[in-house]
Amino acid sequence: MFNETVLKEIDEIKARYPDERSALLPSLYIAQKEFGWLSPKAMLCVAQTLNLPEAMVRGTASFYAMFKHKPMGRHVIQLCTNIACMILGAEKLVGFLKTTYGLEPNKTTADGRFSLVIMECIGACGTAPAMLINTDFYDNLTEKKIEDILGKYK
């Protein structure tokens, strides 16, 4: 079960809505933040906390790419390689991450520091290529800029 801090956070979210189902997405996000990913146990905790069927929680969690269903690195890099980013060098940046950090799509570095997820458009086409690290946004990426950015994440 969730600890008291997490339960309080979910209770505050539940209070904003007329029914508990409306609190599902933010509660899943909180569970992912707490456990690092949405394990079957984490989804069961969400279902029990919100009094929802476990199947509804799993079905919702599996629909959204932002929810992770396996253990991830401490920092999750979500790099866009869709058309605008691809034209402006995103594929080259994927190669750079592999060569420099040993980081491949859907994999985690051996030290558990980073995981890489390739994303479709993240809404920053005008300043492509773009990525998220956890919830931090970065754009106009170059190899040098990525190197500087990743240095901030230990």
Token representation of residue 143:
């190899």
Interacting residue with ligand FES among 20, 121, 143, 153 (CB under 6 A)? 121
The residue range among 3-11, 102-110, 117-125, 140-148 that interacts with ligand FES, by the rule CB under 6 A, is: 117-125
Interacting residue with ligand FES among 56, 84, 117, 118 (CB under 6 A)? 84
129 φ/ψ sector (left φ>0, alpha ψ -120 to 50, else beta):
beta
Which residue number, 38 or 131, has a Cβ lying nearer to ligand FES?
Answer: 131
The residue range among 9-17, 27-35, 83-91, 143-151 that interacts with ligand FES, by the rule CB under 6 A, is: 83-91
Which residue number, 82 or 109, has a Cβ lying nearer to ligand FES?
Answer: 82
Q: Which string of DSSP letters, residue by residue, matches 34-98? A: HHSS--HHHHHHHHHHHT--HHHHHHHHHH-TTS-SS---SEEEEEE-SHHHHHTTHHHHHHHHH
Count residues binding ligand FES (CB under 6 A).
12
Spatial distance between the Cα atoms of 70 and 29, rounded to a whole number of angstroms: 14
Which residues contribute to the site for ligand FES (CB under 6 A)? 80, 82-85, 121-125, 128, 130
